[in-house]
Structure formats: C-alpha cells, structure tokens
Amino acid sequence: MAIRKLVAAGLTAATLLGTIGLAGCGSSSSDQEENPSSIKIWYYEENDSALGKAWSQAIDTFEKETGVKVEFEQKSFEQIRQNASQILNSDEAPDVMEYNKGNATAGLLASQGLLTNLDDYVSQYGWDKIITGTLADTGKYNDKGVMGSGSWYGITNYGEDCVMYYNKDMFDKYGIAIPTTLDELTDAMGKFVAAGVTPLSEGVAEYPLQHLWWQLVLMKADDDFIKAYEMYDGDVDWTSEPIEYATKTIKDWVDKGYISKDSTGLKAEDAGQNFINGTYPMFFSGSWWWSRFTSEMEGTNVTFSTFPDADKVVGSSGNIWVIPENSKKKDLAAKFINITLSQEVQDTMGNDGGLPIAADADKITNASDKEFIESFDNVLKNNMLGFYPDWPTSTFYDELNASLQELVNGTSSVDQVITELQDNYNKGVEDSGYKD
Amino acid sequence: MSTAIVNSMDVPDVAGGVTGGGIALPEGNSTTPRKDAGYSMTPDEYKKIAHVKKNRTVGDWVIIALLILGGLIMLFPFIVLLLNAFKTTADYNSTGPLSWPSSLSFSGLETFWNRVNFPQKLWNSVWTSGLVALFAVILSMFNAFALGIGRVKGRRWIILLIMLANMLPQEALLYPLYTMFKAIGLYNNPWAIVIIFTVIQSAFGTYLLSSVLDTFPKSILEAATIDGASRWKIFKDIVFPISKPTLSVLMVFFFIWTWNEYMIPLAFLVDNSSQTIPIAVSSLSGDRLMDVTTTAAASLISILPTLVFYLIFQRTLSRGVTAGAVK
C-alpha cells in the first residue's frame, strides 16, 4: 500500500514538473540585454573548410569592431539536426547559429515560433539586395513553415549547385572530348562503354543518383512545375514530361551501361571515392566536393561544367544563419550576420574553394577556384537554381533513393517507379499539412 | 543522413565484437568443466585426461575451427577499424577499406584528438560512466535486498514496473525527460545523464539481483536473525559479501553500457565541453561529406578505454559468472 502511494506521489510530481516546464516554454519573453559583453555563436562546418575559415574570420572581425567577446562552439551536424528544437526552446540557445534550410528544418522551427523574424534587420542592412531570386526563397517561410514566401527567418551567405565533374586525363586517354551539349555527353558515355569503361560514378544508396534524376527533371521542367513540386503551389503532374523523361533516361542509361547496376548499394562517399581513384571518368554531384577533388586528386586534371544544355541546375542557397527567438542579444547577432556577408569574408570563402554569393571575382587568386565561382555566378545571374528533389516531405529523401534503387537494379519498371514516387510524395505532403 | 545511423550503431557493434571475442576462447572453456568434475580421481585417470588433449576427435577439431571462425567474424568490424584507422586519406581513396595500409599514418588519430579535445571527452565519459556504474550498483543492491530478501508483497509487479525504464525505447523517454530536467534546471548538465542512467541501469540490476537473492537460502537468514543480527547487519555481513561477484559483473556492464550510450547524452549535453566520446565520434560526419579514416581512428580510440576496463575486470567477471555454481 505504502509503495503504491509512493509511486502515485512520484507520478504526480513528475506530471507537475512537466506542466511547469511547458508553461515555461510559453512565457519566454525576449527582453533584450543592454550592452552585452559576449555573444554565443554556433556552426557545424569544419575549421579547415572554406566556410569554416571564412566564418572564423568573420568572428575575428566582429570582435574587433564591437569589442564584444564571441563564445564560439563548433557543433556537430547530428546534434543540431536531432535536437535543434529542444535546444532553441531552452536557455541554452545560442544567439546566432547556422541551420539547415528547408521546410522540415528551418521552416518547422519558424512556424513553431522558435526563430526570430528578421524582416526589420533585412531592411536595415539591405540584405535583400544581395540575396535575391532563388537564393532568397530558402530564407523566407510562411506561417506554415513553407519556404518561398512570407517573412525572412534565415540569411544565407553562400551557395551550392551540382555540376558534372570530369577526369580530363581519362578523357584524353581514350581520345574523348569533354562534352558541351547533352548529345555530346551521351556520345562520350557511349564511347567510354565501347572502350570497356563505365562512365558515370554513382551511389544510389544516398543522394548522388537522386540529384542526377532531379537534374534530368529540370531539363524539361518550367517554373510552374518547380513551384508546384517544391512549394505546393498547384498540383504536381506525375505523368508530365519532366518526370517521365528523367525516369526513362535513368533506366536507359543503366541499360546502356552508362551507370553500373552495382552502384545500388553505394553511398555518396563511395561514389566520390570511385571518381577520385579514377575508376569512373565522370561524377555528377555538388559543389561541396570541389575543394576535396582539388586537394585529393593532385596530379589529375579535373574539370567541371554545369550539366550540358541545362537551364536549371540542382542547387540552392547554402545553409542559413538564424537568430533563436530566445536570444537576448539579437542586434549583435544581426551585426554578425552582416559581417559574414561582407566583401572580405566572402572573398576569403571564395579563395578557399567555397561558393560565396557576394564576392569580388577579381579578388579570387586561384584560377580554378575563380572559374568555379564564375560558373556559379552565372547560375545565379540567370536564376538557374532548381532546388533539391527531397525537400517537399521529410521522408522523401529515403523514398526517392529506394525507388531509384529498384529502377537501377531492374526490380521495378519506369511506370512502377513513377507511381510509387507519386504515392509517397502525395502521402508525405498530406501528412505534413502544408496543403489545405 | 544515413551515415549518422551507421555511426550510432557502430559503437555497440564493436562492443559486441569485443565481448564476443572474450567468449570465443576455445581452450579455456572446453577444458575447465573436465577439471572441475566433482569426484576425486586416481593419478591414472588424470593422465588419461591429459591425453585427451592430444587425442582430439574430428568433432573436437570441427568445433574448435567453428569457434575460431565465429571469433574472427565477431572480430571483423574491429579488424576493418584497425586497418583504416592508420591509413592516410589518399591511401584509402586509392585502395579502399579492405587493403593493408601502405604506410603507418597517425593523422586521423591526431585530427580527431585535437578536433574534439579528446582528453576532456575521455574524462567526461569516465566520470559519467564511472558514477553511473557505482550508483546503479548501490541502488540495485538496496532494491534487490528489499525485493529479494525482504519479500515485499507484489514484488513481481514492482520489478516489472522498474523494468519499464529498461524496456521502453529511449525515444519514448526522451521528451518527458527533457521537459522534466529542463524544469529542474538540469538540462545541459552532466548530472542529468548520471541520474537518468543510474535509474535505467539499476532497473536491470534490480531485476537480476533480486531474482538471484530470491533463491538465497532462508535457513542462513533465519540463523542470523536468531543470533540477533539486525537487518542492516544481515545486509552488510551476509548478503553483500556473497553478492560481491555478481555486483562487480553488473558494474562492468553498467560502465560499458553507459559509455556506449548515444541518444540521450546527445540530447542532454548541449555544450561541447560536457559531451561524451560517442557524441564526439558522431561529430565527424557532416551533412554530405565524411572523413572515413578519421572516423575509423576515432571509433578505435573511443572503444579502447572500455576494452581496457573490460580486461582489468575480466577476472572478476569470470568469477562472477561462475559464482553461483561453486556453492
């Protein structure tokens, strides 16, 4: 009897504590601290990466300009991905941090009221003049957390896009020219197959093949299709040409031997490694590989181009800076964000192999990096960014990989794959409640 | 994304391999039961037994071969880890994960050591795992004394209730725990981890110990009571000394289990300075890229302390396992 009472008392206490905790969440007002002496900044980029170097320079500049001490912590991507909402809902939240763009991440937190609305800072600092077009879409979220419209919640300061990487030495060895059009690309792949070399490095277990699939969709897609697919603005027609074309082309390329059937179990890291060690002469993937290829393939002639004949390419803004609603030093946080967009910081990023959005091309000293940035500048100028295929729902990344695996190893036909994708997409969008 | 999943599974995997390696000791295990046969033997018989070693049947050899094979399979992840931990990235790029390193490189180890401030993480892990092992054993002992020796009414139900802490998936516990610990101001505090895992581990300890103590010979307790021993004295001088081997086994398990915990520490330890080793290892995988050789080196160095701990306590472990069999 006594023990039962004890258990009951314990449960009551636990429930009580729980309710107090919940009440605490709601009442967090954002009284701003006057003349703060320190500011907490988090990001999860490697120290020796382009972003890491640029941002640590931004921290130095910030400390010099404001005299405020920066308490910086390099967090792990996993920790932020899994626990961002719990951390931001507590007193442990930083004052400004890097966060993943997209509906399921920044959009969700914005809709929960955990992120600060940055509209005032945007007009104060004129950020909307630097971040324009498709770059801006990933910083704005509506009240449901859908990107593309509404208020500003995140500010990016770099970009990323997918390009075709070529191992020029292998092309030369087989006497094949680097393709500049889609026809030349398929020709080149055919020649490699004839010479007994599988041309495309792929990893279907992770993002590489779905990025290629989306690039092929973008070859035929117009803005309306992309808006419908990414921002639920209208219905996605899964029987339309872009989807049919992309899925059929992948199947065709597998049948012709351009893509190895053995790549179904490979991850992105494997696909990258197979390109680095010269097993395959081509790899379609993101700009995040660039600095690795230049440093780890020394002695090999690596070139790149945006996908031949493409008007839209896979890519978007980089991750975004957000200011948690619980921060008591928002003005300083905004000042820091502004420094990351400054010319000097952007140039540093460009010189280390990153893709700055406001750099001065003349300040980039390394010729190949400069070429890489100019290619991206061109993408920005022509508003060519077409986002990523897995953004619409939180489970679509895995579902897309699974369907493409079936396509590549031949267990599903093109039509079966499209139907499966359509079902998963519709179910995911419905479950998320983004659409009325 | 999926790299993370692989990562979080890595640690228990390897631990499994390690304990497996301990079990697969064919020599020791296959001979001990014969030596311990309960009757006395003539010198001749002893000689015969010594001869058995030389006259192993085909069946014996098959079993030994299978055991060695099993041991190798369990050691496989560990071997891959060893191969890759000391490779350079360039070496890994050109030859893949299963080849012998072309030269010994400590760069992966060095990168990880400096990047996460390894000594600090090591201390954090030792501190939390050590405290949890200690507290959980003490708590289990007291609980089990009450439930096993004290014969509280409805003790099966109580044990079942306590076991819930262990049986519920941690995902289900996460949010309630977060809310509770935030309310009492222990969010982002290593003591939260100590408290949570003391409870979770002692749930298992209570279950195990109380079923052991349930079978404790009543006559001894009665004799002690007649001699005028208080409950505390019975606990301290009779039950505790006899349970010691079991307790030390529990302590080793609690230490290693807590060491390998990933999800709850990741959720509760916000500051880098308070994080434990598995979290530090996971921090090596980025959004889209990963560094294989550094991750291998990190995984290797992160399981070494548990290995050392296991080896130190291995003697008490085997004594603990056979403790019941002697008397």
Q: Give the pLDDT score at A238.
A: 93
Q: Give the pLDDT score at A27.
A: 38
Q: Which residues span the domain enclosing B129? A: 119-283
Verify that B59 and B130 share a domain, yes or no.
no
Within a domain: B326: no
Point out the domain boundary residue: B266, B283, B300.
B283
The domain locations on chain A are 38-158+318-359, 160-316+387-432
Q: Classify A211 in phi/psi space as left (phi over 0), alpha (psi -120 to 50) or beta.
A: alpha
Q: Do A14 and B176 touch (CB under 8 A)?
A: yes
Within a domain: B186: yes
Which residue of B89, B93, B159, B268 is the best one to mutate when testing the A interface, meaning the one whose CB has the most A CBs within 10 A?
A: B93
A-B interface: how many C-beta pairs under 8 angstroms?
A: 99
Within a domain: B327: no
Kindly give the confidence (pLDDT) of every residue in chain A, 436 residues in length, as a single tens digit, with 9 standing for 90 and above.
455 555 555 555 554 444 444 444 433 445 788 888 999 999 998 877 889 999 999 999 999 999 999 999 988 888 888 889 999 999 899 999 999 998 888 999 999 999 999 999 999 999 999 999 889 999 999 998 999 999 999 999 999 999 999 999 999 999 999 999 999 999 999 999 999 999 999 999 999 999 999 999 999 999 999 999 998 988 899 999 999 999 999 999 999 999 999 999 999 989 999 999 899 999 999 998 988 898 888 888 999 999 999 999 999 999 999 999 999 999 999 999 999 999 999 999 998 888 999 888 788 888 888 888 999 999 998 999 999 999 888 889 999 999 999 999 999 999 999 999 999 999 998 888 877 6
Q: Give the pLDDT score at B324.
A: 53
Q: Where residue B302 falls among pLDDT bands split at 50, 70, 90?
A: confident
Verify that B21 and B160 share a domain, yes or no.
no
Verify that B309 and B254 share a domain, yes or no.
no
Query: Mind giving me the DSSP string for B233-257?
Result: HIIIIIIHHHHHHHHHHHHHHHHHH
Q: Give the pLDDT score at A221.
A: 93
- How many alpha carbons fall within 13 Å on the CB side of residue A384? 22
Which residue of A78, A81, A210 is the best one to mutate when testing the B interface, meaning the one whose CB has the most B CBs within 10 A?
A: A78
Verify that B251 and B201 share a domain, yes or no.
yes
Tokens of A2: 């006594």
CATH for A38-158+318-359, among 3.30.70.1150, 3.40.50.9100, 3.90.10.10, 3.40.190.10? 3.40.190.10
Helix (H) or strand (E) holding A278: none
Verify that B79 and B90 share a domain, yes or no.
yes
Q: Give the pLDDT score at B3.
A: 37
Nearest-by-Cβ selection for A397 from B1, B179, B188: B1
Q: Do B115 and A47 touch (CB under 8 A)?
A: yes
Task: Please determine, for residue B321, whether its predicted confidence score (pLDDT) is greater than 80.
Answer: no
Q: Where residue B6 falls among pLDDT bands split at 50, 70, 90?
A: very low
Between residues B180 and A394, the one the model is more confident about = B180
Task: Please determine, for residue B35, whether its predicted confidence score (pLDDT) is greater than 50.
Answer: no
Q: Which residue from B minimizes the CA distance to A4?
A: B158
Point out the domain boundary residue: B260, B283, B306.
B283
Verify that B302 and B212 share a domain, yes or no.
no
Verify that B130 and B264 share a domain, yes or no.
yes
Q: Where residue B14 falls among pLDDT bands split at 50, 70, 90?
A: very low
Task: Please determine, for residue B209, whether its predicted confidence score (pLDDT) is greater than 70.
Answer: yes
Within a domain: B319: no
* Residue A10 sits at the chain B interface (C-beta within 8 Å): no
Nearest to A338 by CA among A198, A131, A171: A131
pTM of the predicted model as reported, rounded to 2 decimal places: 0.79
Verify that B232 and B136 share a domain, yes or no.
yes
Q: Which residues of A touch B98 (CB under 8 A)?
A: none
Q: Which residues of B touch A78 (CB under 8 A)?
A: 4, 7, 266, 282-283, 285
Q: Give the pLDDT score at A31.
A: 76
* Residue A83 sits at the chain B interface (C-beta within 8 Å): yes
Verify that B28 and B56 share a domain, yes or no.
yes
Note every long-range contact of B195-199, with CB atoms under 8 Å and residues 24 or more positions apart, other chains counting.
Answer: B196/B264, B196/B268, B197/B128, B197/B132, B197/B136, B197/B254, B197/B257, B197/B258, B197/B261, B197/B264, B198/B131, B198/B132, B198/B135, B198/B136, B198/B139, B199/B136, B199/B139, B199/B165
Tokens of A258: 């351009």
* Residue A310 sits at the chain B interface (C-beta within 8 Å): no
Within a domain: B320: no
Are A148 and A267 contacting, i.e. CB atoms less than 8 angstroms apart? Answer: no
Q: Do B183 and A7 touch (CB under 8 A)?
A: no
* Residue A288 sits at the chain B interface (C-beta within 8 Å): yes
Average pLDDT, chain B: 80
Predicted ipTM? Answer: 0.75
Task: Determine the average pLDDT of the residues in B285-291.
Answer: 74
Within a domain: B208: yes
CATH number at residue B193: 1.10.3720.10
Q: Do A273 and B93 touch (CB under 8 A)?
A: yes
Amino acid at A14: A
Helix (H) or strand (E) holding B302: helix B292-312
Q: Give the pLDDT score at A24.
A: 41
Rg of chain A, C-alpha, whole Å: 24
Q: Which residues of B touch A82 (CB under 8 A)?
A: 266-267
Task: Please determine, for residue B155, whether its predicted confidence score (pLDDT) is greater than 70.
Answer: yes
Verify that B291 and B252 share a domain, yes or no.
no
Distance CA A21, CA B181 (A): 9
Least confidently predicted of B117-126, B282-291, B313-322? B313-322
Kindly state which CATH superfamily the domain A160-316+387-432 is placed in.
Periplasmic binding protein-like II (3.40.190.10)
Q: Where residue B326 falls among pLDDT bands split at 50, 70, 90?
A: very low
